[in-house]
């Protein structure tokens, strides 16, 4: 049995409360679970995204023509709970 299989088996044998505790602490043990590693992967991916590029170009063009059409953003606009 591999180490990964042993770890998986051990996790499956944990009580519900211990699994919850593990779930909360895993990002500190495995930083890639925090989402930053995934964002880094996305940012570094140089694959062309034609539809996204077109959308961004259109938005930039619209903004250049009439910036007042775009409401100002605030910090609360970026809050997921807002």
* 56, 61, 62, 66: CA torsion to nearest 10: 140
At 57 the pLDDT is: 97
Q: How far apart are CA 21 and CA 14, in angstroms?
A: 10
pLDDT tens track for 18-36:
999 998 898 888 877 777 7
pLDDT at 41 over 80: yes
At 7 the pLDDT is: 92
At 1 the pLDDT is: 67
pLDDT at 65 over 90: yes
At 81 the pLDDT is: 65
Residues in contact with 11: Cβ distance below 8 Å, sequence separation at least 6, in sequence order: 19, 22
């Amino acid at each position: 049995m591999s180490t990964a299989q042993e770890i998986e088996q051990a996790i499956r044998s944990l009580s519900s409360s211990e699994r919850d505790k593990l779930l909360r602490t895993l990002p500190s043990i495995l930083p890639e679970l925090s989402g930053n590693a995934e964002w880094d992967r996305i940012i570094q991916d140089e694959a062309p995204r034609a539809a996204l590029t077109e959308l961004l170009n259109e938005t930039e063009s619209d903004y250049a023509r009439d910036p007042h059409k775009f409401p100002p953003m605030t910090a609360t606009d970026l809050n997921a709970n807002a």
